[in-house]
Structure 1
Amino acid sequence: MSLGCISPLVSTMVGQKLPLRKPCIQHKPFTKVYRARRSVAQVPINMALIKDAEGITRRIGNHHPNLWDDDFLQSLSKSYDDPSYGGRAEKLIKEIKDMFNALHLNSSSADDLYQRLSMVDDVERLGIDRHFQNEIKENLDYVYRYWNDTHGIGCGRESSCVDLNTTALGFRILRLHRYGVSSGMLQQFKSKDGQIFYLDNQSNEEELRTILNLFRASLIAFPKEQALDDAKSFSIAYLKQDLPNINNTNISKEIEFNLEYRWHTNVPRLEARTYIDIYGDTTTTNNIFNSKLLELAKLDFNMIQSIQHRELQILSRWWTESGLAKLEFARHRHVEYYFWAAGVCIEPKYSTFRIGFAKMSSFVTCLDDIYDTYGTLDELKIFTEAIKRWDLASMEGLPEFMKLTFKAFDEGVRDMAQEAEKSQGRDTLDYARKAWEVYIDAYFQEAKWLAMGYIPSLEEYLENGKVSSGSRVVTLQPVLSLDVPISNDVLKEIDYPSRFNELLCLTLRLRGDTKTFKAEADRGEVVSCITCYMKDHPGSTEEDALEYLNYFIDEKLKELNWEYLKIDNVPITAKDHAYALSKGLQLLYKERDGFSVSSIETKNLIMKTMIEPVPM
């Protein structure tokens, strides 16, 4: 049975708009007033006014400079390129495959289902699952033969009773691999009052692991799955309450990580780096299988990191040669954008995807800073029209920073189209350009709103914001560069106007706004989903708006889960990478705008996953 067989579960939700107001919110009197217009005397807190060489007064955002000096990047080691490491990794891969294949001979019928699921979970969390795709499928096919949508499963194929831990773990992994599993079986684990999940004769450690697996399962929810909503509320409260009293530091570290970096902010490289430490501290690594897994995970992590160092050096040289480094008013975040792509795309062969994504994202940021702060409205009108002609000659009379930006941008889009042609066997340049033109129009619309002091309705804002978020344009060409042919018909199911693409763009815009609206208001950019909501609901406060919008995001992420995991004719690789990029964005906006302010959490994440190797 495919995942597509359970469509009735969400048929009433998919494709429908949620109401623009959560009924439970009680509106309060205004606590803050936003000014729509700002004169020169009302300079926003985090914005400065400067005069350029022509005497034009311009706004700048006072962003911190590039954190990653080219000399530093060029000095990064690639020591794990040595063939001896690759040879050792291949030997370990073969040995682990042999152990996987021996499972059917050695596993007991009392716990074979749990054992197989645990092995799959370990290789995925350690970031080495790409080496064992056949073994993973074989083991999940085995587990799925014993799955029961009403009762779940026990620890083993001959278990006389179901087990919450094995069922929760199995549900999560099977659903993520697009097997048709329903969350309804969780109802049987509730107590008679329907409030808590039933745990039978478990030790404290077993109980904690059970609730942790229940929590992880609850995050892979589709719309209107009340059982998963209940499981999420219960498990969060349970784990947070017990966390201070846990003696086993490895379990506490695992719980802390999963509570902080939930499914939609947990990217593969961060999870692998974290789980390597947790896995290495457990006593189970005395087991020869687990010891080999750990050694391979460390080797693989460092070998991939060597590839990332080489790609960072290529990207840094491009950044300097493109001229974009000369744009002092713009955010220089090419390394942060590479981290975004590299955190979710590990395959060595997808270098073009990672570097291309970093380039496209850098163009978006430079254009964003031109439209939001540095450019004048008259300049932006000409600039927009010139970009849509794709002709540098049309830039005549515009400032040099606009000409420089367009030249680098035009060359980058052309280069990515050439890379895409190698995979797609057709010219996709016109298709990509049309996507960029729609995006530029959306930017110009926001610039006009700012100049007019106009705050649109939330619906009007989000309709434009889905485009101006930039999600589509930074993802489109890199996805086309993957070694997966995508016909125009299939492309429409992951690109505009697909529901999948719409949800990716919408959740990016919403998450970004909820984390950046105060900083943007301080720079004079007063239009956001927060202010639009408050305009729609007079008397509401920022807190009301945030409460509603966070609820709205959660609901849309459930719908995105469905669009991502349902069975259709879109190549899984293309969908996987587009969806994974949305998780990377959620991570980078987890605490704040991790691009504008990349000197705190983002820098630490880059150091941990891309710069510092794992001790062997």
Structure 2
Amino acid sequence: MSPVSVISLPSDLCLPTSFIDRSGRELNPLHITIPNLGMCRKGKLMTRASMSMSLTTAVSDDAVIRRRGDFHSNLWDDDFIQSLSAPCGEPSYRERAERLIGEEPSYRERAERLIGEVKKLFNSMSEEDGELITPLDDLIQRLWMVDSVERLGIDRHFKNEIKSALDHVYSYWSEKGIGCGRESVVTDLNSTALGLRTLRLHGYDVSADVLNHFKNQSGQFACTLNQTEDQIRTVLNLYRASLIAFPGEKVMDEAETFSAKYLKEALQKIPVSSLSREIGDVLEYGWHTYLPRLEARNYIDVFGQDTENSQSYMKTEKLLELAKLEFNISHALQKRELEYLVRWWKGSGSPHMTFCRHRHVGYYTLASCIAFEPQHSGFRLGFAKACHIITVLDDMYDTFGTLDELELFTAAIKRWGPSIPRIWDPSATECLPEYMKGVYMIVYNTVNEMSQEADKAQGRDTLNYCRQAWEEYIDSYMQEAKWIASGEVPTFEEYYENGKVSSGHRVSALQPILTTDIPFPEHVLKEVDIPSKLNDLASAILRLRGDTRCYQADRARGEEASCISCYMKDNPGTTEEDALNHINAMIRDVIKGLNWELLKPNSSVPMSAKKHAFDISRAFHYGYKYRDGYTIASIETKSLVRRTVIDPVTL
């Protein structure tokens, strides 16, 4: 039996005395007393959920039946930065972080020296017949350098050099691909696959049809039976290229199928090595869930270990040292940002909200894994705050709040009028239960604070625009609460369209991206926010993948509607397996569409303006890779925090 708690609630709750609609007009006043709020309703099942999601049902003397998800506690308590334990004899997180901060000036000096030396390596490639390259390998050498600095997480220092290198490669690109060098007689699969991937990621117009020239007479990709290291690396680059697919590219699907099978078989035959670890990481994470900072951390461990000649060793040594220094420099910055975030979390009253999950450290980690450049502090902290609010609202609307309370809360949010949104109106919350007043205030204060940061960055008022986004988000939650209360399973289309809003992608991305140094005039914002295809597809991935990971636990809590159940209702006779296969196929198509929206050539919107919103989709996708990592944060999410935030790299 689920544990029972007693929660004291007022016997009478009144509706606000007036409402403000979206146009700012005051509606007719209402004076209604609602007794016995939260009486048991159809769909509010009190059963034990799977995967540690047991329910706590709280019943007050007023017969209010309240559901609670039995979420595990905050893994990183409010003092974890200062007191996180370490193995016996080893320094704590605080001591390690303070040591890094103390060493930061010397790290920066060494990093600046290495940046200059790596730039010289890039520039030497521009010299005709330079010491490091020849006309027979200049293309693959340039691609290797670009690919290496990107995977190591140090590419931000070499934007001009990268563009120059890729412009050179692109000038020799043909419909059959490229060879290793500009004077190569034949094209080469390794160079072509790496070139296709790298050029696409930088917005160059390259067709996947080049891969058709590397098929045999039977129309199949083929390799010799003898799996040499060079051949394995070629297929690895083919696999990596296949993940940057656009809609309708059959050859990319074929390349992915062939290369994935080949690499899995190779792993069974080759010894454990840096190559096998690299293959394992790429197969596990692909591209969409391989967050840049996690990739950098993993690649640091394997980079350059198989280098044999002295010239290659010199390059890898410099790149690797710079990558380690950069990782630890940003590690010191993370420590300061986390201290601020924990203070904000405590000051907002969040620790008293015991009905919801507290995953702010995990959300910060996701943000730092997709935007770890120093100048994006506002983005990282804004994303963590927005996601914390989303989680509080999610748990309140899905489980803890009664339908009547949620209607009061939704009405209170809509009283946050567009004319004077930054002026606090105490009457907005006077009829809310005490716990909801705290939720309202954290939403109100945080959205205002983030808007002020966005106003500074964009040079214009952003609050009303962002407030409308939050209002639409709350409306979508209210709709889901009604479905839960009634036990209704809507049509797939109705659920899916509402679910893309309630996924929270838009409100998690909007204010954080507006705090960056990237200008977002109205025409650019429309290509990133609504009504853009980018926002629609990113929201779709979050809804679809989230439902495949959460639907069983949600159903056990009495939440019947999901993409799976709605699809089965619309298609009588289908099984859960059929529905999951259909949803997974949708996700694959959506990912390809999202790739296109980010990378399509000759776009009027710079890729830099779209990249953060795109990467937020990747971050959420990572959290749902194996399970609901936002509810069960003690496995992959905990590992990610330790791997990318807590533990520095050994120099």
Encode CA deviations 1:110-152: one digit per residue, 9 max, x unaligned.
Answer: 111111101111110011010111111110001000001x200
Report the secondary structure of 1:281's partner residue. coil
Report the secondary structure of 1:283's partner residue. coil
Amino acid at match of 2:616: L
Alpha-carbon distance between aligned partners in 1 of 2:596 and 2:357, rounded to the nearest angstrom: 35
User: Does 2:200 match 1:175?
Assistant: yes
Partner of 2:562: 528
Superposition TM-score, scaled by structure 1 size:
0.91
Encode CA deviations 1:155-176: one digit per residue, 9 max, x unaligned.
Answer: 1100000000000000000000
Measure how far apart 1:392 and its partner are: 4.4
Report the secondary structure of 2:298's partner residue. helix
User: Does 2:306 match 1:282?
Assistant: yes
Report the secondary structure of 2:303's partner residue. helix
User: Does 2:255 match 1:221?
Assistant: no
Measure how far apart 1:470 and its partner are: 0.5
Partner of 2:31: none
Structure with the larger RCO, 1 or 2 (CA within 8 Å, 6+ apart): 1
Partner of 2:357: 331
User: Does 2:100 match 1:80?
Assistant: yes
Encode CA deviations 1:4-42: one digit per residue, 9 max, x unaligned.
Answer: xxxxxxxxxxxxxxxxxxxxxxxxxxxxxxxx9446665
Query: More displaced, 518-527 or 128-137?
Result: 518-527
1:482/1:574 contact within 8 Å kept: no
User: Does 2:487 match 1:453?
Assistant: yes
Q: How does 1:266-277 map to 2 (within 5 A)?
A: 266-277=290-301
User: Does 2:152 match 1:118?
Assistant: no
Partner of 1:388: 414
Amino acid at match of 1:237: K
Alpha-carbon distance between aligned partners in 2 of 1:71 and 1:518, rounded to the nearest angstrom: 34
More helix by share: 1
Which of 138, 150, 156 does residue 181 from structure 2 map onto? 156
Superposition TM-score, scaled by structure 2 size:
0.87
Measure how far apart 1:504 and its partner are: 0.7
Aligned alpha-carbon RMSD (Å): 1.7
Which of 558, 575, 581 does residue 610 from structure 2 map onto? 575
Q: Which runs of 5+ in 2 are unaligned?
A: 1-40, 84-93, 417-424
1:285/1:291 contact within 8 Å kept: no
Partner of 1:613: 648
Alpha-carbon distance between aligned partners in 2 of 1:55 and 1:380, rounded to the nearest angstrom: 17
Partner of 1:467: 501
Number of matched pairs: 579
Amino acid at match of 1:63: F
Amino acid at match of 1:372: D
User: Does 2:330 match 1:304?
Assistant: yes
Amino acid at match of 2:405: E
1:392/1:407 contact within 8 Å kept: no
User: Does 2:217 match 1:192?
Assistant: yes
Alpha-carbon distance between aligned partners in 2 of 1:340 and 1:315, rounded to the nearest angstrom: 14
Partner of 1:596: 631
Flag the structure with larger Rg: 2
Encode CA deviations 1:333-356: one digit per residue, 9 max, x unaligned.
Answer: 100110111110011011111001
Measure how far apart 1:458 and its partner are: 0.9
User: Does 2:115 match 1:89?
Assistant: no
Alpha-carbon distance between aligned partners in 2 of 1:534 and 1:44, rounded to the nearest angstrom: 21
Measure how far apart 1:389 and its partner are: 1.2
Q: How does 1:297-446 map to 2 (within 5 A)?
A: 297-390=323-416, 391-446=425-480
Q: Which runs of 5+ in 1 are unaligned?
A: 1-35
2:49/2:553 contact within 8 Å kept: no
Percent of residue pairs bearing the same amino acid type: 53
Report the secondary structure of 1:48's partner residue. strand
Alpha-carbon distance between aligned partners in 2 of 1:427 and 1:235, rounded to the nearest angstrom: 50
Partner of 1:64: 72
Encode CA deviations 1:246-293: one digit per residue, 9 max, x unaligned.
Answer: 136111111110000011101101100000001153335961121011
Alpha-carbon distance between aligned partners in 1 of 2:309 and 2:559, rounded to the nearest angstrom: 53
Which of 241, 251, 260 does residue 275 from structure 2 map onto? 251
Query: More displaced, 563-572 or 498-507?
Result: 563-572
Which of 596, 616, 633 does residue 562 from structure 1 map onto? 596
CA shift in 2, pair 1:316/1:52, >3 Å? farther
Partner of 2:27: none
Partner of 1:236: 260
Measure how far apart 1:54 and its partner are: 6.4
Encode CA deviations 1:171-201: one digit per residue, 9 max, x unaligned.
Answer: 0000000001000111111111112x24479
Partner of 2:572: 538
Alpha-carbon distance between aligned partners in 2 of 1:64 and 1:392, rounded to the nearest angstrom: 34
